[in-house]
Amino acid sequence: MSILLPRKPLLMAFLMAFISLSHALTFKEHQFIKAAENNQQHGIAMHGELKYKKDYQHFSYVNPDAPKGGTLNLGVQGTFTSLNPLNIRGGGAAGIRAYLYESLLARGLDEPFSLYGLIAEYVDVPEDRSSITFYLNKNARFSDGKPITVDDVIFSHKLLKENGRPNHRTYYNKVTQIDRIGDNGVKFTFTPEGDREMPLIMGLMPILPKHAMTVDLFNQTNLKPPIGSGPYRVASIDAGKTITYQRNPDYWARDLPPMRGRFNFDTIKYTYFRDANTLFEGFKSGLHDIQYENDPGKWSTAYNFRGMKDGRVVKKQFELNIPSGMSALVFNTRREQFRDQKVRRALIHMFNFEDINRKLYHSLYHRTQSYFDRSFLSSHGREADEIELSILSGKFKTTYPEILKGSYELPKNRSKGIDRKNIRRATKLLKEAGYKLTNGQLINIATGKPFTFEILTVSKDQEALLLSFIENLKLVGIKAEIRQVDSTQYQKRKISFDFDMIQNNWSGSLSPGNEQLFRWSSKQADTEGSYNYAGIKNPEVDNAINALLAAKDPETFASSVRSLDRLLLSGDYLIPLFHLKSQWLAHWAYLGHPEKVSFYGSLLDSWWDTRTRTQ
């Protein structure tokens, strides 16, 4: 005992030191965790600041007190053969992506490009955007009640990278490393080329359930209702004809800010119609509740039916604050007759917008002069600035110097009949391209073959427009024909680029990014399923897209987009058509909607049935 007594003070001192050290380590660890939490953000913006602060309650373009209940009936033209919209096999049913499959983040649609926490409650993004870390919401659940985990996120990335649509494979292959961060964090590190959009692209990645999905199942074309985490579940299908969704009463995110005021209908039913005329007749008879309209002729004259006259149906116009997108007749430059730009330019001269607009559309359309028309991103009316010139690097070769000056205009015609000057210009260009007019036919001098091509269509609604164009082409000896096919065959031929010419529409955005690669890049020109229908292979276009992806400030970004716009216009890859200045739709009057709209117009997921008052 006498031997041990002297050691007690030493033991006590050691214990006290250990306890003090433990407290110090705990404090430092706490400080480290606190610092990490301070780096976590509730969202991310492509450029500038987020509009909504951390304590926001809902988006401004929704009614957070909208009543829940009722049924929304929607009409779709065509058919469907699959319940998987995430691969290129079959035609995916409408609504699956919007109502079943959620992303890590939710998009705010009254900003150019900003995302807010959803499945991922917070994100952590370094200044150089070389990576992004998602911290999952611990309450996130799939519709079968199972939690959404880091494993599901990693599984979804791998599945889509290897088996998804071409755009998925392109984007997700830019991830070089995946790390788990604690129990609910996952970090994606990106390739070093400086694509600053990648953190947002990953935020929009749909999350699939690892426990209910396999590679084989994903790659099948089947009608098995999938499991998602969204506000609805598939209630029933009639193959190719209807699909019905039922709101999930246990939807995990119903009270989160990005979801408040949205997805208000108990039931949403899509009915498919053979063509545009039967779709419109279905709306008139009340088979579906909303009719979007892009045809000024119909808008001006066709909405005089009984429901409209007695007030049961109303017409609305909503403001749009996004680029018009590009609706166009697309040259497939993979085909021999359209490889020469002079030929493409000649056909552009033979399209009489003014006459078509007057005869078919009550002169209500506006000619699309830019790939980003109706916005500050358009090069139309703007001279190239120093940033653009540096991107073009002095290599910008164009037969249209006015494109650099911003004074370029598509060829104009008299409103009645095509101008002779345009016929002369087209004839001269065709002669320079190696063609001659013989007995009313345009003949290739080298091959002796007449100039003929086919315009692939899926709708009779296109017929009047195309017939007018075809009649004009006869004036220079070109024979074109319309080939109408069903929607399934049309989709297959588009995917494999099996056409001479099609009419296509690429939607517009105030924050164009990686989708521009998918539409216009050289790499995608030979990738089946891509949207590079024209077959564009232009290194300068690739360079301009890379510049806009790497832009760090709004000024550089806008100039990069305009440089891309000038290059695409200079290539004569398509015949730009026209656009509307606002969103047109008609709906049955029992539907309600918020007065304020998003940049994209009025969004259906914010509407409600005024006949119900349940919450």
Point out the least confidently predicted range of 157-161, 338-342, 405-409, 459-463. Answer: 459-463
DSSP codes of every residue in 234-246: EEEEETTTEEEEE
Summarised one tens digit per residue, pLDDT across range 210-226 is 999 999 999 988 899 99
Summarised one tens digit per residue, pLDDT across range 413-446 is 876 777 899 999 999 999 999 999 999 999 999 9
Query: What are 71's two structure tokens?
Result: 């049924």
- Which CATH superfamily hosts domain 36-318+582-615? Periplasmic binding protein-like II (3.40.190.10)
Q: What is the pLDDT of residue 221?
A: 85
Long-range pairs, 208-217, Cβ under 8 A, ≥24: 208/101, 208/152, 208/155, 208/156, 208/159, 209/142, 209/144, 209/146, 209/148, 209/152, 210/149, 210/151, 210/152, 210/155, 210/156, 211/146, 212/142, 212/144, 213/155, 213/159, 215/159, 215/162, 215/163
Question: Which of the four pLDDT bands, split at 50, 70 and 90, describes residue 304?
Answer: very high
Helices assigned H by DSSP within 410-457:
420-432
The residue with greater pLDDT, 572 or 400, is: 572
CB 228 within 8 A of CB 213: no
Strand bridging mode 267-273 / 71-77: parallel
Q: What is the pLDDT of residue 9?
A: 41
Is pLDDT of 20 > 80?
A: no
Summarised one tens digit per residue, pLDDT across range 25-44 is 333 333 333 334 457 899 99
Tell me where in the chain the CATH 3.10.105.10 domain(s) lie: 326-579
Summarised one tens digit per residue, pLDDT across range 464-506 is 999 999 999 999 999 999 999 998 899 999 999 999 999 999 9
Torsion of CA 472, 473, 479, 481, to 10 degrees: -60
State pTM to two decimals: 0.77
Helices 554-570 and 539-550: angle between axes, nearest 10 degrees: 160
Q: What is the pLDDT of residue 231?
A: 98
Indicate the class that CATH gives domain 326-579. Answer: alpha beta
Mean pLDDT for all residues in the chain = 90
Summarised one tens digit per residue, pLDDT across range 377-400 is 999 999 999 999 999 876 677 768
Summarised one tens digit per residue, pLDDT across range 100-151 is 999 999 999 999 899 999 999 999 999 999 999 999 999 999 999 999 999 9
Q: What is the pLDDT of residue 611?
A: 92
Percent of the chain's residues with pLDDT above 90: 78
- Cβ atoms < 10 Å from Cβ of 247: 20
Point out the least confidently predicted range of 15-29, 257-271, 399-413. Answer: 15-29
Is pLDDT of 321 > 70?
A: yes
Distance between CA atoms of residues 550 and 73, nearest Å = 43
Tell me where in the chain the CATH 3.40.190.10 domain(s) lie: 36-318+582-615
- Cβ atoms < 10 Å from Cβ of 166: 18
